[in-house]
Amino acid sequence: MAFLRWYRIAITGDPVPLTLLAEAIPALANNCFVIRNPEARCLDRVWDSSTLHDGRVISGSDLLDLVGSMLLDGCFWCELDSNNVVVHVAEEAVYVGLSSDQSPQPASLLAEVVANSPYSETPDTPPYRAATPDYWIEVERLLESRGSLLLLTQWAGGIGGEMWYHLRSSEDIGVATGELLPRSVIAVFDPSNFVVVGESNSTAIGALIQSDPSHSNLRWLTPAKRPKLVTRRVDDDQDLRRVINTATPGTIFFDWPEPQVDKHLLASCPDEDGAVRTEFRFA
């Protein structure tokens, strides 16, 4: 949808004045919105992914609380869409796009006309293929040939939106598919991309770790209830030494293959009508 007018509404205060926000943007109080393109940027939070995933409808106090939390903390972000209004939340401001010339009532808040939202760029890349039954047959065949796989399902952009599984059997695939959230994107990595403590030799583990001196793309994934893994990020050399010394058997070290990510089995969970509507793509 092309939005004819954009407004920037400055917001200050802790807690955020949600009543004034609703007065300034009546659509927040009166409309249902759809969460789009969510990003969970922090690991120190427990996200309710079942209520924050792409495509979920939100309204009323839940909607205002979400906008207020995004204003106070950049750990979670999303676009909010309704039929004729789009809302983008930035630090201490809300950008509102309207499909008509009707301006939000500024109340005691300042509504400034702006050319555009800083978050309104439209992706110019096609979505991933749909994760149909044929896709999962490909995953199972790859598992049979490689022996084990890493499966990533991402319900939101950022490390907080990652859900990892160590696949060793078709039963493990069943567990992972049973926990898929709507509009998640999926990637599958074969053993050339990861090492397993207690299975891989020390030379292989050392080689993978040294391949990323800055550790910016290195994940260490600790076993949870099989086949799930818990995501951790390695911060620096000292953190890495601690991780190596305390890693339990089954812990996985994975280095994100940034230049070659498109070579992996990538897919998106389609909606019930079979269409892929998520715009998220792996870097």
> What integer pLDDT is reported at residue 179 of this predicted model?
94
> What integer pLDDT is reported at residue 283 of this predicted model?
63
Residues 109 and 163 both lie in one domain: no
pLDDT at 113 over 60: yes
Confidence tier at 101 by pLDDT (50, 70, 90): low
Residues 12 and 89 both lie in one domain: yes
pLDDT at 104 over 60: no
CA distances from 275 to 24, 89, 137, 254 (A): 35, 27, 19, 31
Residues 54 and 141 both lie in one domain: no
Residues 215 and 101 both lie in one domain: no
What's the chain's Rg over C-alpha atoms?
Answer: 21
Measure the CA angle with vertex 134, ends 231 and 55; round to 5°: 55
Residues 144 and 242 both lie in one domain: yes
Residues 154 and 263 both lie in one domain: yes
Q: Which of 60, 84, 114 lies at the terminal end of a domain, its last residue? A: 114
Q: For residue 90, what are its two tokens?
A: 């930035």
Domain that holds residue 202: 133-268
> What integer pLDDT is reported at residue 19 of this predicted model?
76
Residue 277 lies inside a defined structural domain of this protein? no
Residues 98 and 142 both lie in one domain: no
Q: At what angle do helices 170-178 and 133-146 cross, to 10 degrees?
A: 140
> What integer pLDDT is reported at residue 217 of this predicted model?
74
Residue 14 lies inside a defined structural domain of this protein? yes
Residue 123 lies inside a defined structural domain of this protein? no
- Of 207 and 33, the structure prediction assigns the larger pLDDT to 33
Q: How far apart are CA 242 and CA 51, in angstroms?
A: 35
Burial 151-179 (b: 16+ CB within 10 A, else e): bbbbbbbbebbbbbbbbeeeebbebbbee
| Lowest-confidence segment of 55-59, 94-98, 271-275 by average pLDDT | 94-98
pLDDT at 241 over 60: yes
Residue 282 lies inside a defined structural domain of this protein? no
Residues 181 and 264 both lie in one domain: yes
Contact in structure between 129 and 266 (CB atoms under 8 Å): yes
Confidence tier at 155 by pLDDT (50, 70, 90): very high
Residue 200 lies inside a defined structural domain of this protein? yes
Residue 2 amino acid letter: A
pLDDT at 37 over 80: yes
Residue 279 lies inside a defined structural domain of this protein? no
pLDDT at 4 over 60: yes
Mean pLDDT score of the chain, rounded to an integer? 84
Confidence tier at 53 by pLDDT (50, 70, 90): very high
Q: Which of 47, 80, 114 lies at the terminal end of a domain, its last residue? A: 114
Residues 184 and 60 both lie in one domain: no
Residues 84 and 146 both lie in one domain: no
> What integer pLDDT is reported at residue 108 of this predicted model?
43
> What integer pLDDT is reported at residue 193 of this predicted model?
86
Contact in structure between 71 and 78 (CB atoms under 8 Å): no
Residues 140 and 264 both lie in one domain: yes
Q: Above pLDDT 70, what percent of the chain?
A: 87
The model's pTM is 0.86
Altogether, the residues listed in the chain come to a count of: 283
Confidence tier at 262 by pLDDT (50, 70, 90): low
Q: Which of 114, 143, 161 lies at the terminal end of a domain, its last residue? A: 114
> What integer pLDDT is reported at residue 78 of this predicted model?
92
Residue 120 lies inside a defined structural domain of this protein? no
- Domain count of the chain? 2
- Of 124 and 144, the structure prediction assigns the larger pLDDT to 144
Residue 274 lies inside a defined structural domain of this protein? no
Residues 143 and 261 both lie in one domain: yes
